[in-house]
Amino acid sequence: MIDKFCLFTNDIETISIWYNSLRIETAHNVVKKGLPLLLDIYDKYDIKTTFFVTGTIAKLYPEIIKIILERGHEVGSHGLSHERMHGFDILSYEDQIYHLVESKKILEDIGGKEVISFRAPALRVSKNTATALEESGYKIDSSIASQRFDMFMSMGGLKKMRWLTAPRLPYRPSSNNIFKRGHSKIIEVPLTAFGLPYLGTTMRLFPRITDIQKLAFDFEASLDQKPIVFIIHPNEFIDESDKKRIIEKRSVNPFSSFFQDTIRSKLKINNLGPQAIPLYENQIKFFKEKHYNFLPLRDYVKKTRL
């Protein structure tokens, strides 16, 4: 029997799905409600994961880093902030280095443990991000969603077209192009996708499609040992629907705003809050019954000797 791996990852930021914006109030709910709920689910099924945390929320609530580590999970960097002007696809190389080094330092100073894994906010990267990661002391990246085709619904959509031709299996990227194979010291662990991404949003919007996805990705893993890489956010388990909804417009481009703000924000509230719990547990139970190894990224890379 071949080894099969599930890397169920978590992105922790201050975004409110209900308001489509960054909010301090939502950060409080993430820490006090969403994160404890996720950690309890992982304890229930005895699995370990990676939590990608922004420097912003780590400074606001440093206790979350220690809690995550104490429960046996990995802490990775999710950049300094999730502000749209801090996307790694628009930051200069020097600014990428600054954000990588500073976020790493914040997390390491709080947790006392080396941070080697990174995921870009909103999965926005530049061709030279692999080199910036290497220079900043990281070893693993998980920002590329190979063969994902809903990029026009998110920030930096045109540059994400490069996902379509990116390798599906983990790879060492080119120093000059993170979307292609090369000889960088960084190990890229692509997110699981084929057309639609395999993540919490798809799970909540289209539960039946996600059930089909997991069958297809399980079959793929049986052929080539491709790891299942799933993304969930603690804010997906928070219900803020008791508050009046005012959707923040993030883009000045009318076309982008229509898809990224109006359409996307209306879709994303489906099955938000407690309704997401059984949907997520359904995904976990499927792969547990298939005898997958649930590991943090750093342990997966070590175990597979990538």
> What pLDDT, on the 0 to 100 scale, is given for residue 252?
63
Alpha helix locations (H) across 112-193?
129-135
Q: Contact 199/231 with Cβ under 8 angstroms?
A: yes
Query: Under the phi-then-psi rule, with left for phi > 0, alpha for psi from -120 to 50, and beta for the rest, what region is 12?
Result: beta
Range of the domain at 200: 5-304
Residue 208 sits in a domain of what CATH number? Answer: 3.20.20.370
Euclidean distance between CA atoms 255 and 35, whole angstroms = 34
> What pLDDT, on the 0 to 100 scale, is given for residue 56?
94
> What pLDDT, on the 0 to 100 scale, is given for residue 226?
97
Q: Which among 238, 157, 163, 228 is positioned nearest to 198, based on CA atoms?
A: 228
Euclidean distance between CA atoms 170 and 214, whole angstroms = 19
> What pLDDT, on the 0 to 100 scale, is given for residue 114?
98
Q: How many domains does the chain have?
A: 1
The reply to whether the predicted model has a pTM over 0.75 is: yes
> What pLDDT, on the 0 to 100 scale, is given for residue 150?
77
Euclidean distance between CA atoms 148 and 194, whole angstroms = 5
Euclidean distance between CA atoms 105 and 6, whole angstroms = 28
Residue 139: DSSP 8-state: -
pLDDT tens, per residue, the chain with 306 residues = 689 999 999 999 998 787 877 888 889 999 999 999 999 999 999 999 999 999 999 999 999 999 999 999 999 999 999 888 899 999 999 999 999 999 999 999 999 999 999 999 999 999 999 999 999 999 999 999 999 987 655 665 677 889 999 999 999 999 999 999 999 999 999 999 999 999 999 999 999 999 999 999 999 999 999 999 999 999 999 987 776 666 666 556 555 555 555 566 666 778 999 999 999 999 999 999 999 999 999 999 999 988
**Mode of pairing for the β-strands spanning 15-16 and 196-197:** unpaired
> What pLDDT, on the 0 to 100 scale, is given for residue 230?
98
Instruction: State residue 126 phi and psi, 5-degree precision.
Output: -105, 165
Dig out the tokens for 58 from the structure.
Answer: 């780590």
